[in-house]
Structure 1
Amino acid sequence: MAGRPTGGVSGVITAKHELDGGRTTMGTHPGRRRIGLAAVMAVLITTAAAVAGIGTAAAQTDIHLCALPGSASIDDPANPGTSLTIPFYGFVDVTTSMPATGDPCAGAVPRFGDPTPVRMVEGQTYTVHLHNRTDALGGGFPVNLLVAGLSGEPDLVGVAPGGDGTYTITAATPGTHMFESDLDPHHVPLGLHGVIVVDPATPGTATGAANSAYDLERVLVFHEVDPALNTAADPFAFPMTDWAPTLYLINGQTRTSAYEIPPIAAVPGDRVLVRYVNAAPSNSSIATLGLRQTVVNFDGEIYDGSGPVGEQPLDVSNVFLTSGQTADVVIEVQGAYGDRFPIYNRNLRTSATGDNGEQLVMIEVGVGGGLNGDVYFSLADATRTFRDAGPTGPGDHVSLSNEDVGVWTGTYLDKYFDGTLHGIPGAADIDAVWHDPATGDLYLSFRADLATPTDPRWAGVTKATIDESDVVHWDAAADTFDIYVDHTSIGLNGSNAHDINGLQVDPATGVVTFTTNGSYLIPWKTGSATLIGARNEDISRWVPDDPTLPNGTGHVEVVADFSDFDMVSFNDNTGTPNTTPGNLDGISTTPLDIFFTTTSTHSWGPNETYLAGWPTANANGYVLTDRDDIIGCRGFTPAAPGTLTDSCLAFAFELDFDTLHHNGVVGNVDGLSVG
């Protein structure tokens, strides 16, 4: 797709909080009382691309956006199960992924209809660096940055192709904002739009007000495509008076009989924050069936009940958005397991007959919350190349090696952490990983001992060799490493059997939940002669005496025994199950669920409850899951006092990584972190 090469220089804008009364149809009061918030804190960062260093309210933080050409694969509503290839231009947040030197956009790949928000903190000022690489495939054209509700004077010149510009934005008020390039009417229909979320200082809320508290968050970008524009030899010669969309999308995909936009999995009582962004030129009326939605923010205006009548929280069944508008709604989930509630554009535009081409996503009520949030993972095998557009088409490819950390958002797959760029040799193999959603930090353990890299970023690691049972902390904001817990503190001896191969960390308490490659028998408490043991089908945790000193004294507990479940390892050579219990690899837990991978193929028996989508028996009658499958123990209940048996309400087949790999063979997903 060729762009129009024209001139232009970078523009500089100092943004101010300026609400456009002509766009805010649900009530705009620039002089209203703002919520009083004490101080800016670290906030929940839910996606790989959004992580940035967060300082105080007075600090200025840099964000880097690249404008690039891309290609999307969309399930064809007219021929479900086959793919349409749609060229487009898009923005990519490379703040945490750009190389240390050279072009900041090197290796960046835009995502069509990307719902991944650029996260900001209320009251903080940001310098946004816009890198225009629309000329990456030839041609190119100027682009600018307009943020609805945050930008001040418009930039009428933009950044020239191949050039770089800066914009200063103050995140004045919590809420969701659409950003775009608006120099030409072709820009937004071609995909040059994105999402900024301004978080309040109060974590777990959309606005800082109690009525905006939430358990789960989802961003839904509604947009439309006329393939005739996107596939034109020169899209800028395409007359926009002829623009007639035939594809109606949410987050770059449309619901067809062969493809369902990833649902929102929840349990009764969950408060789901859904951030609607209307990036389409037409109006959208976004409705729910069976559930009500409470509007807590509209176009950056807080509806907390403290302001004028027009700013009271709105309990509605549908939200009307004109082009470019946003709304944050809280949906309280009710119903029973198996219930499904749609969120859809009630204008009922479809791309073909029947139910094909719908802008519709489901809220699914299940046992436990399922894979809500991004999935961070590492591989045990050599380099694997994934398609990032999901199972409906090849899309753009992402290569991951076993020293990297990948992320699956439910919509696309990307590289979150490049081990090679951080001095980690591939032979080290990141064996266990946990991602802190509040900071973007990673906690890592390796499959083999690692000579501490000489890179200055590793200066905080004072030992010459990192043991395979140590837990290493990567500070995402500072880009530095340190030892979080030395294996000797826990009591592990550093042998292969004591290798930590599954990991979860609670930075607030210092608790480290882990699995090991084999059996251990160690003091249950620092300095104690009493021993505690576990095997590779068990989940243990290290509890420090002082939460601020996770590498100090403490004790070990066994929190789950998976030999209680009807799962055994499977002998691939003989094609029959073994008699040994299943062995765990990567783990990630929530208050309701345990998600896990296994170190080998496993066979499952009839004595458990399995949710819809569970694998069927093979020709020999065995139900098998592979070592690249994520399994969910939904509704985990530990053994009650006086009993010996843990239980799960049901097991769920959460994700098969084979479906994301370009040739269908991934190998072993050994590190796992959900959220």
Structure 2
Amino acid sequence: MRTVDLWATDGFVSIPDGNSLYVWGFAGAPDVPAQLPGPTLVIDQGDEVVVNLTNRLAEPVSLRFPGQEEVMVLGDGGWEPARPQDAGGRRVSFMPAALPGQTITYRFVAARPGTYLYESGTDPHRQVPMGLYGAIVVHPADYDPATNRTAYGAGTGTEYDREYLMIFGEMDPEFHRAVRLGLPHDVKARRPRYWTLNGRCAPDTLAPDRVPQLPNQPYGTLIEMEPGERVLLRYAGAGVDGHPIHPHGNHTRLVALDGHLLRNGASDLSYKRFTVRAGAGETCDMIFEWTGLEFTPANPIPTVLPNLRNLVIGADGWTYWSGSAYLGHKGDLPVGVTSFNRIREHYIILHSHSEFQMTNWGEHPGGIMTFIAVYPAGTLGPDAGVLA
């Protein structure tokens, strides 16, 4: 049995333009601020999971587990099915809720592998956009990080070398301010100005996990791989908007939707897409491969190098380009350009194809944008791309 303790609380998150936003969210320890998104729950198929939710907010909060069946709640008489709550002739919560200061306990069995969300089931139109959400990753029963990495089990065609989770959302600063100050607000008039990937806006998305300057946004989104590897990308749409996500360099093969493998018996129903839309409340599992030809300067091909406008990012003149079109080699960089390239790797952008979602309140680059970093073969450690 796996026991998970979560606290619904509040806090602040940082935005690259220098602002900070008030949020609600889940924390993995008492007396710490909310993190965005909530702690990722990585569990095994067949695990019985018990979740204790302690509510530190001033209004009722509950937990929903979309995709998990037979969710139970611990009541005065023992375990009972978790059902919606009604009061005064209206539905007040989709799940039994914890009142302020209370703790409520849920239980379910992770029957199917896949990628799932968890989120507040009380006033979800208000509480989920404020940040009360997180993700659940269920590995198949035969999963072994050393010998058998598959998304849905052996023989399903979902073998992979590395895996990454990306949770998409958006934030309206006026909405967050109104909630903080207890002011009236119309959720229908909500207008996002920041778009988030694992709770961060670009370029903070490129920072590693758990960097000190982002204490309440612990999860980075830089995808690291080597040529020929199969990378499992797990998308989760935690926001209200849809997010059409597109990686350059190659299409992705969509293998599962909402924890359901795209397969009918022996028939493989997976398919490739230029762009995959992570809709509100949806999850998508896909395989990405980069098979670019690794020509070397000793075996040149006609190559058009990027011009300065295309290779420099930001007003400070920084880039991730190595100065060479060849993987594993460095070249000259323009004067005044700072390169963040570490060991002559290639960088492939992954971003939202709703272009305004690549801004922080209209400023580009920002929002939903990260990179796929392709490292020379044999240079990337085995711990990259492992969900703890």
With normalisation by structure 2, the TM-score equals 0.69
Which of the numbers 82, 85, 91 marks the counterpart of 2:26? 91
Which of the numbers 332, 336, 348 marks the counterpart of 1:341? 348
Pair 197,122 (structure 1): closer, same or farther in 2 beyond 3 Å: same
Asked if residue 254 in structure 1 is aligned to residue 178 in structure 2, the reply is no
Asked if residue 356 in structure 1 is aligned to residue 365 in structure 2, the reply is yes
Aligned equivalent of 1:245: 192
Q: Distance in 2 between matches of 1:141 and 1:221?
A: 25
Report deviation, 1:258: 11
8 Å CA contact retained: 2:11, 2:34 = yes
Which of the numbers 106, 128, 133 marks the counterpart of 1:167? 106
Asked if residue 328 in structure 1 is aligned to residue 251 in structure 2, the reply is no
Aligned equivalent of 2:240: 281
Asked if residue 224 in structure 1 is aligned to residue 170 in structure 2, the reply is yes
Bigger RCO of structures 1 and 2 (CA < 8 A, at least 6 apart) = 2
Report deviation, 1:87: 1.1
Report deviation, 1:342: 2.1
Aligned equivalent of 1:111: 35
Aligned equivalent of 1:187: 127
8 Å CA contact retained: 2:69, 2:108 = yes
Report deviation, 1:68: 1.3
Asked if residue 272 in structure 1 is aligned to residue 207 in structure 2, the reply is no
Asked if residue 66 in structure 1 is aligned to residue 7 in structure 2, the reply is yes
Q: Distance in 2 between matches of 1:269 and 1:305?
A: 27
Q: Distance in 2 between matches of 1:198 and 1:183?
A: 24
1:218-617 equivalences under 5 Å are: 218-232=164-178, 233-234=180-181, 237-256=184-203, 262-304=221-263, 306=265, 312-335=269-292, 336=294, 337=327, 338-349=345-356, 350-353=359-362, 355-367=364-376, 368=378, 370=380, 373=383
Q: Distance in 2 between matches of 1:202 and 1:127?
A: 22
Q: Distance in 2 between matches of 1:119 and 1:92?
A: 15
8 Å CA contact retained: 1:274, 1:329 = yes
Report deviation, 1:198: 0.9
Query: AA paired with 2:375?
Result: G
Query: AA paired with 2:355?
Result: L
Aligned equivalent of 1:205: 150
Query: AA paired with 1:355?
Result: H
Instruction: Give unpaired runs (5+ residues) of structure 2.
Output: 71-81, 85-92, 144-148, 208-219, 295-326, 328-344
Query: AA paired with 2:59?
Result: F
Report deviation, 1:372: 7.3
Give the secondary structure class of the aligned counterpart of 2:246: strand
Pair 251,91 (structure 1): closer, same or farther in 2 beyond 3 Å: same
Query: AA paired with 1:200?
Result: P
Which has the larger displacement, 312-321 or 260-269?
260-269
* Bigger Rg, structure 1 or 2: 1
8 Å CA contact retained: 1:227, 1:245 = yes
Report deviation, 1:354: 6.0
8 Å CA contact retained: 2:256, 2:286 = yes
8 Å CA contact retained: 1:209, 1:304 = no
Q: Distance in 2 between matches of 1:347 and 1:128?
A: 36
Aligned equivalent of 1:598: none
Aligned equivalent of 1:123: 46
8 Å CA contact retained: 1:273, 1:329 = yes
Report deviation, 1:182: 2.5
Report deviation, 1:370: 4.1
Q: Distance in 1 between matches of 2:183 and 2:67?
A: 28
Query: AA paired with 1:179?
Result: Y
Pair 236,274 (structure 1): closer, same or farther in 2 beyond 3 Å: farther
Give identity over the alignment, percent: 27
Query: AA paired with 1:147?
Result: F
Aligned equivalent of 1:196: 136
Aligned equivalent of 1:137: none
Q: Distance in 1 between matches of 2:382 and 2:367?
A: 23
Q: Distance in 1 between matches of 2:47 and 2:353?
A: 37
Q: Distance in 2 between matches of 1:236 and 1:209?
A: 53
Report deviation, 1:352: 4.4
Instruction: Give unpaired runs (5+ residues) of structure 1.
Output: 1-59, 77-82, 95-104, 135-139, 375-408, 410-436, 441-675
With normalisation by structure 1, the TM-score equals 0.41
